[in-house]
Each structure stands twice: as structure tokens, then as C-alpha cells.
Amino acid sequence: MRTPTSTYRLQITAEFDLVEAARRLPYLRDLGVDWVYLSPLLEAESGSSHGYDVRVHDRIDPSRGGEQGLAALSAEARRLGMGVLVDIVPNHVGIAAPDPGTWWWDLLTHGRDSAYADAFDVDWEVAHDRVVVPVVGDDDLGDDGRIEHLRVVDTGDGLEQRYHDHRFPIAPGTVAAGEQAEQLDANAVHDRQHYRLSSWRVADQGLNYRRFFAVNTLAAIRVEDRRVFDDSHVEIRRWFDEELVDGLRVDHPDGLRDPEGYLADLAELTGDAYVLVEKILEPGEELPTSWPTTGTTGYDALAHLDRALTDPAGQEKLDRLEARLRGRVVEWPQLIHDTKRAVADGILNSEVRRITREVLATGVTIGGPGPVADAVAELLACFGVYRSYLPAGREHLDEAVALARTHRPDLADTLDLLHPLLADPDQPAALRFQQTSGMVMAKGVEDCAFYRHSRLTSLNEVGGDPSIFAITPDEFHDRMAARQRDWPHAMTTLSTHDTKRGEDVRARITVLSELPDEWAATLDELLWKDPVDPGFASLMWQAVVGCWPAERERLHGYVEKAMREAGEQTTWTAPDASYEAQVHRAVDAAYDDERVRALVEGLAARLAGPGWSNALAAKLVALTMPGVPDVYQGSELWEQSLVDPDNRRPVDFDLRAGLLAGELAPRITDRIDDPGHAKLLVTRAALTLRRDRPELFTGYRAVHASGPAADHLLGFDRGGAITLATRLPVGLGERGGWGDTSVDLPDGTWRDVLTGRTAAGTARLADLLADLPVALLAPREES
């Protein structure tokens, strides 16, 4: 198996297609990148900027460059000695705009007789052999069930139904031969079809097909069926047959019925190629070693690194601040229980009801559908990880049952009867419960609770637990040693298309753990004129100072998403216009109100210098720690994006290539507008060393400092390459710098590849880190 030493993620779009990506590969090679890592390529919904809404599986999206584009990129990668990693989406297909030739169109046309009926996860019986399609607006559904604006049209190739801009097929034999479109009663025609157009509000409780999370326009497919696997991987197979691609990243494996079985099929298809899984691990959870994969995409590593750079001394004061703002002590376990329960009772209640029907189908008598659904929802709310993989992970179900009994003792009898059934891997209800628990976790925690918890928002990141405030360097070293031992080729990352905040936004916010009093004082002044509820305002202002200076429209886009995801004062489906206007006025105040702007600029300037220090420390550690480091597009300079779609903005590669071709000074400033040249220098040096001298990165050993500032060093030896990074830079400055703090280097002379400075024996950190807060030492090569 060919394994990369590093990757660089590119978002392939119509504006930045495969041909343009191929043109940028020489720059990536000069940066030190080993493999290029591409977002999904299969044909997606029209206008999709991300590609995760794949429509068809037998071709690359023409708007993204098509077959010729991948061939060109692959050829250029081969010329440069680079590999190609591609993101794939096995869990679902996009159905927002089906048309003839797509699986979903065929399903709607022929129902259970469709050639693709087994490809989708449809509960036919509950809707009398029809697919429920939740698209009808409130004003278009009459009391008699008739749908306004539903019509039949003649396309020239036959008759179709149209509802506004939605199009739907008409099944053969349901309209008499020779009838003209304008003569037909569209609602009568609709009643004879294999689908039922329903109110959009039905999706929460009455949907009968499995989705990706709660997205009605992404229908799940059953890749556990080998025919479905083969049909949905026909183009991916071609990539490997023609040696165009070297590895894959698997999106959302927890949505699959049998992730391990899927990965085994994928290994067979790819010839045991390098494959990563986007698996979110909760603290203490381990990736199943039986899976044929080289590891995760790195959110677990991100969580460890961020917390190693967080000052534990700030926790108590920030806890008190959060309690004061919220009017109560915030208990993270209770918060996420409640948000997950709301999801199970709300947007994912269709899945709860389907599990309930499968439970009742076993003949077990446990009080009827009401108590069963209640108990299933409570178990989902109490499940501590994304999912189990029965029989593996049975302990997570046991823990959830025990916790559910404490929350809901009135359900004890029902839980006792459910427990063995949901622990049985031969029971359909147990398998569906596993697929559903991850959805509830993602929607309840990442997409809700993360926006209701504002103690220190750099910790509110995918794969992280915000209740874990910090870890010590020794704890970090223990985790890295285990990573080197167990998953040496798993990915490491700092930013992705899914992170809630870019890596350097988090690096700046992390400084607040060292300055809790200054933060609280500034926030109080901001709240003096801010009518927004204080808890959300804290989250909002952390985002503002974290990415400042930022374009006004970016922050407006961020707060709209954040407050609706939080769902406390306003939601996506029921927006509170008055409240939202208050929040947007608060954003405008950062630009238009002199006093507010001065507060924002003052705090951002205070955080800038130590924030840049944290950013360089995080970058160097992420690039040199055990695993395969990924650089998210553009993050070789400061990465101050917020949540998507902000983090998918175009990247100025001409700027970066120009800087890389020039002289990069090994220093940063305390200015808010530092150009980030030092980060580009660090990125190039680390990636190049990993690619050109991989023998220096084959082990892991902690490097400890001696002296008064020893606890400000995060250092390790990878087997010849030594990383030294500053942590808690504010505290370091307050104690007067490194002083006589030193590290003992292994025998020989060592050269910092960032600055060219050499050292040997006992080396003073004040000398090694005189220009930058980080150093990357390698054995000096004799000329």
C-alpha cells in the first residue's frame, strides 16, 4: 500500500475545477506536499459548492472537470511524483432535482417495482407502498388534501408532474393514452403515483425513507447490498483500474448499516489502497482495529492538540463567567442530553418511529408504540458515542440504558425489554438504532449544543468535548505515543470543510484561557449596549475577535447560522425576525459604533501576538506529530474562516505561490495584520522535511525542558526530527520569557530547518526560539 507523507485538501468546484487544480500542483509540490486530496468528484446537484450531494455514480461531475479533468490532474501528479486522494460519499445521493436516468426518478416512477427499489432504505408499508416526498408549502395544501400549483405538463418526451420548480414522473399506465396534459386533474393523477407529495412539515415524523441526518434532499442508499455497492462504485472502480487515484477518504461511515463490511468491499475494489474514514471518536473511544482502514481523518488529533495549548488555570474563571451569563451553572452532559432528546423528538423523530415499528414487529409486548418510542428516544439521548458496531460496542448500549433509567425511571420496564433486543446484531431494530444514534449525536451536539455553550469556543469543535478544558503536555504525549503505535498513518488536521472555526481563529480564542479577566471585562462593556442574550453574545463576540478584521457580510452570515443552529431564540424553520434583527445590529455595531469598534479592535490587538504564537505552535505540531498531516486549502497562511460556507471561500493561490518563491522572514509580529509569512515558512519546512526525509519520522519520544519556564514547552522527537513549540505564550511573557530554560539534545549537531540556527548538547530555548515560537530540528547534514 502506498502511503502519503502529507496531503493538501482542495475543494473542487465549477470555479476551481480539476483542470485548474492540476495547474496548481507544482505550487503544492514546492510547498512540500506529497499527495493532493480532492473533495467529492462525482456528479452532484447543480450549483453544489461542496459535492456531497452526489446525483449519479457513473461519471465525474462535468462542471468539476469531468473525466478529462481527473485524467489531466492525475497525469500531472504522476509527473511531479505526487499521489491523489479523493473524498467519496457512499451513504446517500442527492434527490433535490431528480430527472430521468437517476435512481430516485426511477424509484418514484415504478415504486417497489423499480430496478433501484432495493438501493434505497424505504419503509413501504407505512405509507401504503408510496414514497413520502415532503415538499409542499403551507399555503399550497388544502383542507381536502388537494395541492395547489400542482400541474401536469407535456415535456415532448412524455408527461410529468410539476410543483413549482419541482418535477416528478408519471408512472406508465396511470394516464390514459391520448389524454392531453391540460385536460388532466393533476391531483387525481398524483393519487395514482408511487409517491405522495406531502407538507414539508411531515418530514419530522412521517417520512418513510432514510436520509443523511435531517436533510430531506439526501436519500440514504443501502451499500450493504453488494449489487448496490457495485452500482454506486462503478466510477470509483475505474479510477483504480486505470491507476488515476491512490487513496480514498470515506465520508460518514457511521451512517452505513455495516461500516466494517463496507470497508472490506472497498479494500477489495481498491486493491487494499490507502483509505481513511471520517469517524468521530468521543474521548476514550477507540477506532475498531478490525476495520480495514489506515485511520480517521484527524478530528481526534485536533482535539488533543487544541487542549494541550489551552491554559487550565483559566477554567475556573471562565466557568464562573459562563454561569453568570447563562444565569445557571452549565452542565455539559445535561445540555447535550436535552439537545439530543429534542432532536430525537423533533427533526429525527421519523427515524425513532421506524425503529419503534421494527421493535413492535418482533412481537415483544412492551406497552405499545408510545412507551417504546419514548424509550428509544431516551436511549438515543443517553448514548455516549456516535454508535456501536454490534457485537462490538455493546458496553455503550449498556451505559445508555443505565443512564436512561436514571433520567426516566418511569420507563424502566420498557428499557429492560428493549435492552436485549437492541443488543442483538440480528435484529433490524438494533441495526437501525446504530445508524440513527450518530445522526442524533451530530445534530444534537455539533449542530446545536456547540452553539449554546460559550465558555471557550475554541473547544467547540468537531471531534472534541467542550467539557474537557485542557490536557497536560504529558497527557498529550501519551496520546501521541499511542497514535504512533496503533495508527501511524491516520490523518492529522487543524482545519477542514466541517470545522466550526478555522485553526487560527481557534488559536486566537484559546488565548482567552490565559486572559479570562480581560475577556470578562471587555465582554461586560460590549454587553452594556448589546441587547442580545448574554450567553449567545459571548459566542458571537469570540467569533468576531477571533477572525477580526473580517468583512461585515461574513459575520452576518455566521451569526445567522449560529443563532438558528442554537435554536434557543430563533430557528431555521421558525425564525424570529425581531430577535435576529437585534443580533445583526450588534454585528453592525462592531463596524459603525465607535465605542464598540474600539473594544473589538482593542481586544483583537491584545490577542493577536499570542494568537499567532499559538497558531504557529499548532501548525508545526500538527505537521510533525504521528500521522499523515493534511493542510486544508489556503491554511499555509493565516486561516481565519468561520463555519461553512465561510470556510469554502476561494483561495488566492497566485499570492501564495508568489510568496513561496520569495524570501520568507522567520518572524511574526504582534500586529493584527501580520501577513502570515512565517506560517508559510513553517508549513513548507515541515512538509518538505517529512517528504524528503521520512526516516526522521518513525517514532515518538517526549522532549522535556528544564528550567523556570519548562511547562511552556511542548516538544517531541519523532526519531530524528525534533519539534519544539511554545504553549501559553501570555504566561511566558509575564514571567519574562524563557530565561535559562533549556533542552538536552541528542548527540550531534542539530539544525533548525526554519531559521538555519544550529545547536548541540544543552540548548537554551531563548536562543532556539529567539525568532519564532517554534523550532524544527534535524541532524545537520555534513557537506
Model pLDDT for residues 567-596, shown as the tens digit of each residue: 999 999 999 999 999 999 999 999 999 999
Q: CB pairs under 8 A, 24+ apart, for 603-606?
A: 603/518, 603/519, 603/522, 603/545, 604/508, 604/545, 604/548, 604/549, 604/672, 605/670, 605/671, 605/672, 606/515, 606/518
Residue found under cell 484527524: 298
Q: Taking a C-beta distance cutoff of 8 angstroms, is the pair 280, 299 a contact?
A: yes
CA triple 464-717-720, angle to 5 deg: 135
pLDDT-based confidence at residue 717 (cuts at 50, 70, 90): very high
Angstrom distance (rounded) from CA 622 to CA 492 = 6
Cα distance between the two ends of the chain: 34
* Whether the predicted pLDDT of 335 surpasses 90: yes
User: At residue 365, does pLDDT exceed 90?
Assistant: no
pLDDT for the residue 782:
59
The alpha carbon dihedral of 78, 81, 83, 84 has a sign of negative
Place of cell 557537506: 783
Report residue 599: phi and psi, to 5°. -65, -45
The CB-side HSE value for 367 (13 A sphere, CA atoms) comes to 16
- Give the model confidence (pLDDT) of 117-132 as tens digits: 999 999 999 999 999 9
DSSP per residue, 136-166 = E-GGGB-TTS-BTTEEEEE-SSSEEEEETTE
**pLDDT tens sequence across 28-49:** 999 999 999 999 999 999 999 9
Cβ proximity of 256 and 262 under 8 Å: yes
Q: How confident is the model at residue 366 (pLDDT cuts 50, 70, 90)?
A: confident
Amino acid at 496: T
What CA–CA distance (Å, rounded) separates 245 from 84?
5
Contact 514, 556 (CB under 8 A): no
Q: Taking residues 69-77, report their average pLDDT.
A: 98
In the structure grid, which three cell numbers stand for residue 619, read together? Answer: 501548525
List the 211-212 sheet strands across, edge first. 92-94, 215-220, 211-212
Residue type, 7: T
Cell 445590529 maps to which residue?
Answer: 585
Residues 6+ apart with CB under 8 A from 409: none
Sign of the C-alpha dihedral computed for residues 715, 717, 721 and 722 taken in this order: positive
What does the alpha-carbon distance between residue 687 and residue 685 come to, in Å, rounded to a whole number? 6
Strand (E) or helix (H) holding 534: helix 534-547
The average pLDDT across 406-416 equals 96
739-764 exposure pattern, b = at least 16 Cβ within 10 A, e = fewer = eebbbebeeeebbbbbbebebeeebb
pLDDT at 783: 44
**pLDDT confidence bin for 781, thresholds 50/70/90:** confident
pLDDT tens column, 490-525: 999 999 999 999 999 999 999 999 999 999 999 999
Q: How distant, in Å, are the alpha carbons of 281, 283, 372, 400, 431 from that of 378? A: 21, 22, 10, 9, 17
Confidence of residue 529 (pLDDT cuts 50, 70, 90): low
Contact of 119 with 225, CB cutoff 8 Å: yes
**Cα–Cα distance, 385 to 442 (Å, whole number):** 10
Amino acid at residue number 441: M
Q: How many C-beta neighbours within 10 Å does residue 768 have? A: 25
Residue 530 pLDDT greater than 80, yes or no: no
Q: Phi and psi dihedrals of 545, rounded to 5?
A: -70, -25
- Please compute, for residue 468, the number of CA atoms within 13 A of its CA located in the half-sphere on the CB side: 18
Closest CA to 305 of 440, 464, 433: 464
**Rounded-to-integer distance, Cα 648 and Cα 7, Å:** 18
**Model confidence at 482, in pLDDT bands (50, 70, 90)?**
very high
- Name the residue among 703, 632, 606, 52 with its Cα closest to residue 302: 632
The DSSP call for residue 209 is B
Torsions phi, psi for 233 (to 5 deg): -120, 20
- The answer to whether 643 and 561 have CB atoms below 8 angstroms apart is yes
Residues 592-646 have pLDDT tens digits of 999 999 999 999 999 999 999 999 999 999 999 999 999 999 999 999 999 999 9
Residue range 719-733: mean pLDDT, rounded: 98
Q: Give the Cβ contact number of residue 668 at 10 Å.
A: 24
pLDDT at 26 over 60: yes
Residue 417 is which amino acid? L
C-beta separation of 397 from 423 below 8 A = yes
Mean pLDDT of the chain: 96
Inter-CA distances, 740 with 178, 645, 706, 763, Å: 94, 47, 8, 10
Angle at 462 between CA 64 and CA 232, to 5 degrees: 40
Which amino acid makes up residue 395?
E
Q: Percentage of the chain surpassing pLDDT 70?
A: 99
User: Of residues 673 and 65, which shows the higher confidence score?
Assistant: 65
pLDDT reported for residue 474: 98
**Bridge-partner residues for 169, per DSSP?**
160
Closest CA to 583 of 556, 601, 603, 604: 556
Q: Which residues contact 654 (CB under 8 A, 6 or more apart)?
A: none
Report whether pLDDT(728) > 80. Answer: yes
State residue 665's pLDDT score: 82
Q: How far apart are CA 690 and CA 33, in angstroms?
A: 9
> Is the pLDDT at 736 greater than 80, yes or no?
yes
pLDDT for res 122: 98
What SS3 state is found at 748?
strand
pLDDT of residue 670: 86
Q: Which of 607, 606, 623, 608 is nearest to 680 (CA)?
A: 623
Amino acid at site 244: L
Per-residue pLDDT at 160:
95
Mean pLDDT, rounded, for 290-308: 97
- CB 392: neighbour CB atoms within 10 A? 13
Q: Which three cell numbers stand for residue 536?
A: 449567545
Contacts of 566 (CB under 8 A, 6+ apart): 448, 451, 452, 536, 539
Cell matching residue 23: 495547474
Alpha-carbon span 570 to 580, nearest angstrom? 7
Say how far apart CA 304 and CA 476 lie, in whole Å: 6
